[in-house]
Structure 1
Amino acid sequence: MSSEIRQLEPKQLWNKFADLNAVPRPSKKEERVIKFMKDFGVGLGLETIEDEVGNVIIKKPATLGMEDRKTIVMQSHLDMVHQKNNDTVFDFDTQGIDMYVDGDWVRANGTTLGADNGLGVATIMAILECTDIVHPAIEALFTIDEETGMTGAMGLKGGLLNGEILLNLDTEEDDEIGVGCAGGIDVTAIRSYDQEETPESKIGYKIVVKGLQGGHSGMQIHEGLGNANKIMNRLLFDGFENFGLRISEIDGGSLRNAVPRESNAIVAIDAIQEEAFILEINDLANDIKTEYKTMEPDMVIEVSETETPDQIMDLGVQEGLTRAIYAALNGVYRMSADIPNLVETSNNIARVIVKDGHVKIGCLTRSSVETSKWDLANMLRATFELTGCEVEFGGDYPGWKPNMDSDILKVMVPLYKNLNNGETPHVAACHAGLECGILGTNYPEMDMISFGPNIKGAHSPDERAQISSAQKYWTYVLEILKNIPKK
């Protein structure tokens, strides 16, 4: 309940988060949250701008005595990933997020929480509204569509901002200061196929993979999480190899930047093979669950009889499809040779749709090295083209190259140590896609940094924000604002 959230400390932050989470704001559908943010800025009497793509900029003058400090840009994105559990009834287009407190964590009931990047947005709103917080001149930048294409950052033109320092509030570990990130590209394979009438000798079965953790396809790609699309393909491949299983439909995964949690398939098998098929596929399902029992203890694989489908895929296309998905890399491609424990390049097989004579496979390839990103993208392209697919590249965005000589970094590291008993923050690049790399194309001289509170399970219904970490983060933000360098 939002009333429970509003009692948390710091109240300025959590109240603004509750206000924000009452507004539906899925990616590509940000009209309501854009209006909400514009009304907020205008209501405060501050200069408020909506640019031509829908980004909102709110400008606030420096407080007394801070006029000689550099102007800062405080930036977060308005949209959120919309994921829910299979058994959760929820409409992201019309409903606000239903939150609750669970010990030291804030969670949502069966959906994503929107802490990514709602806590960043709420932070900026609280600072814009408060009259007793010391700060330099602020340009608050609220971008749209970060989660499904970064089109807000891409569409932001040069000349709208005058700030010399950008504070991106989209990092999910409170002991980390981000100085770089991965770029990314969507790799989409499509093709059509002929459908065949299902022979009378066959019967229908439904296969369901569900209960996986899911998660962020950048930050968590190295954790060994189960990918429902890969697991489903393994079941289908085995069923075809041993029993001539034929595919009618597949619907797996959801968003490009979320590790797939669920997949559903409708298939047909020879009635005479039914008993052997059930024994074999259940044995394989148990083997898979055993392999993943540490990371995916709640994995469920269900195989149940259903109405026999009228049509099935062309046999040759089915063979090529299952082999291509088997061969396509999912997970880490290369670790960074320069930054310890950083994933350099990876791929997430995010979406698989087979229906009504059409195949669509969607991947998100990430890398902090442009040449490596394109190497993996071309590998995937070659894999899918060998099966007759057309492959499209889209949504290409650059990474953010670390600047270890950053002036704001030199401010933030000692401040963190002073506030945390001498503990040194982890200064690192991340494997997620942040908007800093894109924003830097039109604002190349801007000094950029990224940080935030602890958020776990982003992009999944297990998303949660740590209350004690938010308190730590809020104190840190206020100290940073007091210590922005002079012009």
Structure 2
Amino acid sequence: MELSQLEPQIIWKNFAALNSVPRPSKKEEKVIEFMKNFGEQLNLETTVDEVGNVIIKKPATPGLEDRKAIVLQSHLDMVCQKNNDVNFDFDTQGIQMEVDGDWVKAKGTTLGADNGIGVATIMSVLESNDIPHPALEALFTIDEETGMTGAKGLKPGQLEGKILLNLDTEEDDEIDIGCAGGIDVTASQNYNLEDPKGQILKITVKGLQGGHSGMDIHKGFGNANVLLGRLLYLGLNQQNLELISIDSGGLRNAIPREGNAVFSVRNALEFIENSESLKSAIMEEFSEVEKDLHINIENFTSAEKAISEVDSKKIILALKAVQNGVYRMSPDVADLVESSNNVARVELKNGELKILNLSRSSVDSTKDTVAEQLKSVFELAGMDVDFSGSYPGWKPKPGSEIVKIMEKIYEKDFQEKPQVVACHAGLECGIIGANYPEMEMVSFGPTIRGAHSPDEKANIASVAKFWGFFKEILANIPAK
């Protein structure tokens, strides 16, 4: 089946149009222009603010002028991840999509359903002539995935809406009313180089499924950076190990799927033999969740210089010791991860080291504790540490009027109660709420799997379910 044949056709049409436009985080110029043109062609009031957020306003349909004005919000950027064997340029190419049974997915790359389905949904109501709705303000933010700078740059007074519907949730039976905050932790250092003294080896870890570093952090998935650290640790005491390069992981908000390390050891054959038992143990540990995991250690040739054994040991010990995964579960909300860290990217090249982390927590004090623990480990290893990109969590308000309305509609339409939850992902609601404290906020969306990885896919039936739910919410917004 072709994408154009899927229902609701209006959403899939707009999603396809959006996905034809390159939209990596921090490179949203093309998609900003696309969305600006979209609003102007509909003769709707369209503005682009000073940071690049696009705001499109549409008057209420006849009979709903007395209802509270609504802000519809989704982000324009997408996480750009691809499999190593896929030749694809996110800066210039549109996403190549296909229908696979009950799902829409991309060919070897992220799909952009996060948050493209939300964007396409808002586009669909903006261009519609037959969907009842109150006055709308469509807010399309930029750079949600790598800093939330769009939401941070949104100024007070730009919006008049009293209720914000964020369309960036990935389970269609959930109504989200809270989320985690986050902070970027970066460790760095420059090292002197020297000729390697031993035999050169290369470790490659690949085939991990990766995933969203918030929503999937508790699922026990493998982290390529952590696995490389475990394997390199083998050589510290007996092998005079000297690191040459590390290239592992990618974006802060994606669990690392693959990586490699090149290094020198005194006896390559001995290292490879000693690693077999650890490789077997790792494969057994992850046999249920990482069925495609592959670890290879091989002789290698490199003309590059290495850093000293002493400096190499400090880096490896840091990778072995640093917190990765769940730090604390919430004592207040069942099954909610309160705080975590993702060791997202390790890059060592020509003596220059960077280790990128994203720490999340729904409690600000715990977020600080996790970040400070990372800082302590890295500083003990002689690295410089920088905190950046901090953003607040979103405090739940379960008794709000819009949540009660949505619960009632969901029960009527689907004969079951929705899950009213908080999530461990970072949503823009907390940041927007700082400037609009009186605005009621809620987040919901269709079912999406594998966000932030090339396995990302959107459920076709769920998009139809979400669309019907969304339209009924718009028709039942309370009076001013």
Q: TM-score range by the shorter chain?
A: over 0.9
Separation in 1, partners of 2:95, 2:395:
35
Does structure 2 conserve the Cα–Cα contact (< 8 Å) formed by 1:133 and 1:478?
yes
1:290-330 Cα distance to aligned partner (Å, 9 max, x none): 11111111001112222144411122211111111111110
- Amino acid in the other structure paired with 1:318: S
Map 1:337-416 to 2 at 5 A. Answer: 337-416=331-410
Please, which moves more after superposition, 306-315 or 79-88?
Answer: 306-315
Residue 123 (structure 1) aligns with: 121
2:418 partner amino acid? P
One-letter amino acid of the structure 1 residue matched with residue 479 of structure 2: K
Name the SS of the counterpart of 2:165 in structure 1. strand
1-structure distance, mates of 2:235, 2:106: 38
Contact conserved, 2:268 with 2:299, CA < 8 A, in 1?
no
> 1:176-218 CA distances to partner (integer Å, 9 max, x unpaired)?
000000000001111111112122xx22222110100000000
Distance 2:158 2:250 in 1: 35
Q: What secondary structure sits across from 2:406 in the alignment?
A: helix
Residue 164 of structure 2: SS of its match in structure 1? strand
Shift of 1:16: 0.4
Match of 2:469 in 1: 476
Q: Is the 8 A contact 1:266 1:309 kept in 2?
A: no
2:229: which partner in 1?
233
Cα offset for 1:95? 0.5
Secondary structure of the residue aligned to 2:235 is helix
Corresponding position of 1:429: 422
Deviation at 1:277, TM superposition (A): 1.9
The aligned counterpart of 2:33 is 35
Q: Would the aligned equivalents of 1:268 and 1:308 in 2 still touch at CA under 8 Å?
A: no
Distance 1:254 1:405 in 2: 39
Give unmatched runs, 5+ long, in structure 2.
none
The reply on whether 1:336 has 2:334 as its aligned counterpart is: no
Residue aligned with 1:428, SS: strand
Q: Where does residue 250 of structure 1 map in the other structure?
A: 246
Deviation digits for residues 211-249 of structure 1 (CA, Å, limit 9, x no counterpart): 000000000000000000000011111123343332100
**Equivalent in the alignment of 2:189:** 191
Q: How many residues align?
A: 480
TM-aligned CA deviation for residue 356 of structure 1: 1.1
Number of the residue aligned with 1:278: 272
Comparing 48-57 with 284-293, which one deviates more in the overlay? 284-293
Q: Deviations over 1:242-266 (max 9, x none)?
A: 4333210001110000000111111
Instruction: Summarize deviations over 1:87-114 as a string: whole Å, max 9, x none.
Output: 1110000110011111100010000000
3-state secondary structure, aligned to 2:270: helix
Overall identity of the aligned pairs, in %: 59
CA contact (8 A) 1:239 1:281 kept: no
Conserved? CA contact 2:82–2:453, under 8 Å: yes
TM-score (norm 2): 0.99
Once the two structures are superposed, what CA deviation does each residue of 1:347-392 show, in whole Å capped at 9, x if it has no partner? Answer: 0000111111211111100000000100111111111111111111
Residue aligning to 2:457: 464
Does 1:45 pair with 2:43? yes
Question: Are positions 1:269 and 2:262 aligned together?
Answer: no
Give the CA RMSD over aligned residues: 1.0
SS of equivalent to 1:249: strand
Q: Secondary structure at the match of 2:71?
A: strand
How far apart, in 2, do the equivalents of 1:6 and 1:178 lie?
A: 30
1:222 to 204, 218, 224: 218
How far apart, in 2, do the equivalents of 1:29 and 1:238 lie? 41
Q: Distance in 1 between matches of 2:102 and 2:418?
A: 22
Matching residue's letter, 1:406: S
Counterpart residue identity of residue 408, structure 1: I
Instruction: Read off the aligned partner of 2:246 and give its amino acid letter.
Output: I
After TM superposition, list the pairs within 5 Å mapping 1:129-140 onto structure 2: 129-140=127-138
Cα pair 2:201 2:268 within 8 Å, conserved:
no
Alpha-carbon contact 2:200-2:268 (below 8 Å) kept: no
Task: Answer yes or no: is the 8 Å Cα contact 2:174–2:444 preserved in 1.
Answer: yes
Secondary structure (helix, strand or coil) at the match of 1:333 reads strand
Contact 1:267–1:309, Cα closer than 8 Å, also in 2 = no
Could you tell me which of 439, 446, 450 is aligned with 1:446?
439
Residues in 2 aligned to 1:61 and 1:10: alpha-carbon distance in whole angstroms: 24
Q: Select between 105-114 and 283-292 the one with higher mean Cα deviation.
A: 283-292
Counterpart in the other structure of 2:76: 78
